[in-house]
Amino acid sequence: MKTKLLIKVASAALVLFLAGCDKEEEQVAITPELAVTPAVPEQVSAEGGPLAFTITANATWTYSLSAGAGAWLTEATKTAAALTLTVAANGTAEAKNATVTFSLTDYPDVTQEVAISQAANIIAGMNEADFGAGVTPAVLTATAADLKSTLEGLSAGNYVVNIAGDVRLSDAFDDNSNIQLSTPGVVISLRGNGSNTLTTEYDATFLRITEGKLILRDITLSKTGIGMPAVWIDANGTLEINDSVSITGTGESTNAGVNVNGGHFLMKGGEIHGYHRPGGSGGGGVYIHANGTFRMDGGKIYDNTTGYGGGVLIMGGSFTMNGGEFYDNHSTDANEGGGAVYLWAGNNHFEIHTGAVIYGKDGGDDKAGNTATNDTYGHAVSVFISGGAHGKFRSNTIQNETLSISTNAAGNEITDATGTWDSW
């Protein structure tokens, strides 16, 4: 009996000893390891899709999303060594950003943060720029056969019209007709794919805006006929052009590229060039009259020729130049000037701000200069004043040339960079 008791006591001691050894082994500290790849993911497209990570860890891991990210990042699959998130499509004009924090469950201080970025939706960005935040335009597609009827048939409202293919005036309409927008309250964003060309080879205006607003994106307007301008803007009409828009003339013309006949023209980007009318009365690229307004925030006006005001003629209205540049424009009238800009007599206005550039006759930055046949008048800018014209200028934006003023009658306002800039 005594022997059996001793055996039981020894066995129990052995069990306790072995259990103690196991506990000591469990308490031996490990070095926690966590590595996530990719550590810096590429930007996710606006369309969204899967985003996969590989996790190398020697302990159980978990993850969390930064505030608000759960609205567009969701878990697709999760294993011991991998995580795949689903990135929802971005329907907004803003890029999205989030942080995924990986950590070890038993070692919460061991973490790795991964930043995720998703691109903005380009279409949504254009829509917001064209129509304002929160506005959802109707989206249409037009071909050469129905572009005229589509644009002219729209009621008041906001529309995106995508052009399928090129359009020639003779293909779609009678030779002497044009597209006329005449619906009050209509706003149309006419969009190409960057290579679409709208062409007329006849003595007709391609687009005439009598009411409403037309916005051009990723389109070339090519005018090879003489006589009428490519775009005509009446008093209640507005034209806006953006980057990747070209209003192009070919051969000799007897009118400007854009005729601002009391309407409003906003040039955020793009270019106007190729309008050559050496015997014309003025306004190669843009002609402003009937109290029209032209605001240039960016873009280029170049390679235009006319009697005076090779780039722009202001004969009844205002031109505000906040950005962009003029070069290689020319006036050919021996009695006039203004290779780039001509400000006519009367209650007209021209204001140029720092950041905009008009090159003088010698050019610069690998660009040809603006010139006038008559050296007495301004190669870059000529101001003809005899009846109350107003001009406002910042001299550092007119390159290598002094502003030419032909007459400064009493009551006229010419203000340089050091003068007082009054409001109109």
DSSP codes of every residue in 328-392: EEEE--TT---SSEEE-SSS-EEEE-BTBEEE-TT-BTTBPPPEESSTTS-SSEEE--SS--EEE
Give the end of a domain, one of 77, 94, 118. Answer: 118
Residues facing residue 118 across a β-bridge:
44, 96
Please check the confidence at residue 66 and state whether its pLDDT lies above 60. yes
Residues 98 and 126 in one domain: no
Examine residue 38 and say whether the peptide bond preceding it is cis (omega within 30 degrees of 0).
yes
Q: Is residue 174 a part of any domain in this protein?
A: yes
- Of 265 and 197, the one with more pLDDT: 265
pLDDT for res 49: 96
Residues 61 and 183 in one domain: no
pLDDT for res 354: 75
pTM as predicted: 0.81
pLDDT for res 424: 32
Of 40, 78, 33, 31, whose CA–CA distance to 56 is shortest? 33
Residues 114 and 127 in one domain: no
The predicted model gives 174-200 an average pLDDT of: 84
Indicate the number of domains in the chain.
Answer: 2
- What domain range includes position 271? 122-415
pLDDT tens-digit series, residues 110-137: 999 999 999 999 999 999 999 999 999 9
Residue 9 DSSP SS3: helix
Residues 371 and 260 in one domain: yes
Per the prediction, the chain carries an average pLDDT of 83
pLDDT for res 176: 46
Please check the confidence at residue 40 and state whether its pLDDT lies above 70. yes
The predicted model gives 6-19 an average pLDDT of: 48
Percent of the chain with pLDDT over 70: 79
Q: Is residue 12 a part of any domain in this protein?
A: no
Cα(248)–Cα(221) distance, integer angstroms: 6
Tokens 């034209």 found at? 239
- Reported as a pLDDT band with limits 50, 70 and 90, residue 251 is confident
Q: Is residue 19 a part of any domain in this protein?
A: no
Please check the confidence at residue 410 and state whether its pLDDT lies above 70. no
Residues 113 and 260 in one domain: no
Residues 183 and 197 in one domain: yes
Residues 193 and 180 in one domain: yes
Please check the confidence at residue 285 and state whether its pLDDT lies above 90. yes
Residues 173 and 136 in one domain: yes
Domain of residue 62, CATH code: 2.60.40.10
Please check the confidence at residue 238 and state whether its pLDDT lies above 70. yes
Residues 186 and 246 in one domain: yes
Q: Is residue 71 a part of any domain in this protein?
A: yes
- Reported as a pLDDT band with limits 50, 70 and 90, residue 356 is confident
Residues 249 and 393 in one domain: yes
Cα(257)–Cα(347) distance, integer angstroms: 23
Residues 159 and 254 in one domain: yes
